[in-house]
Amino acid sequence: MKIGNSWSQMAQTLKNRLESALGSRILDSAPMAVGFGLTGMRITLADGRRLAVKARAHTQGTRAGPSLEIEAYMLAELARLSDLPVPAVHAAAPDLLVMDFIDNDGGAITKDAERHAGELIARLHATPREAFGYARDTLIGPLPQPNPRCMRWIPFFRDHRLMHMADEARDEGRLPAAMHARIAILAARLDAHLIEPAHPALLHGDLWTGNVLVRAGRIAGFVDPAIYCGAPEIELAFATLFGTFGRAFFESYEAVLPLQPGFHEGRRDLYNLYPLLVHVRLFGASYLAGIDRVLARFGV
């Protein structure tokens, strides 16, 4: 798609801004699906770079959404602290993010790719970090994640993941008060169901299928992170919620970092209350049934 056509839906000011920030002319571009009301483009520059662009329109003012600079920060932290394949950031602002475009097959995650992902994520989790939380608050999708420094995992998960997201969902009218009360009862009993991990681990934080890019049976890149330091099990649980990874992933992961007994039998479902609450806030009541099933399983 040539530049004259592909930019017809994007303001000329953004094109000029990109060329100024990147120091090269845009030769051509194509739309790219990015979600959450953002505009996405794949661009090719005169200097040969192929980049992915996320941009937010200014029609809704400063309340249009969270800063894209936070996503840039999270990608940069993963690049700095791990060997995960993530796109390099070329420009970032509250309403703009420009990063490497990662070539990928655009298809399903194969068994070989699952095994490669298991190795990569296990190496990420195997490195001890200083504390749970992070140096700053981050995001999961467009939603804030508070990250105060904590030395114990279970209180951090209870207060800053499970109850934080439940409180926000209730206050927005997305989570019924009765279900919120049941979550609070379970939250008070977490010490009976969860275990403290061996150490805090850096997490990608949002391992669903759309954030895992595959090329020729290998992981080409992980995108759209929601980083913080937490228990590896919450990351692994999320990776099963929508079928991102299966047995091949876990076999590869456990060859590097064995799991403690009881994860698949119970802790996985409890941890998945957090992403289910995220989805309730973002997409509505269709995810309440999944929350109800988990609560009933734990007797509340």
Catalytic site residue 269? no
The active-site residue out of 47, 105, 137, 206 is 206
Tell me, letter by letter, the H, E, C secondary structure of 172-231: CCCCCHHHHHHHHHHHCCHHHCCCCCCCCEEECCCCCHHHEEEECCEEEEECCCCCEEEC
Report strand pairing: 89-93 vs 228-230.
unpaired
With the C-alpha atoms ordered 266, 267, 271, 272, is the resulting torsion angle positive or negative? negative
Place of tokens 């690049």: 79
The pair phi, psi for residue 23, each rounded to 5°, is 70, 25
Catalytic residues, by residue number, are 206
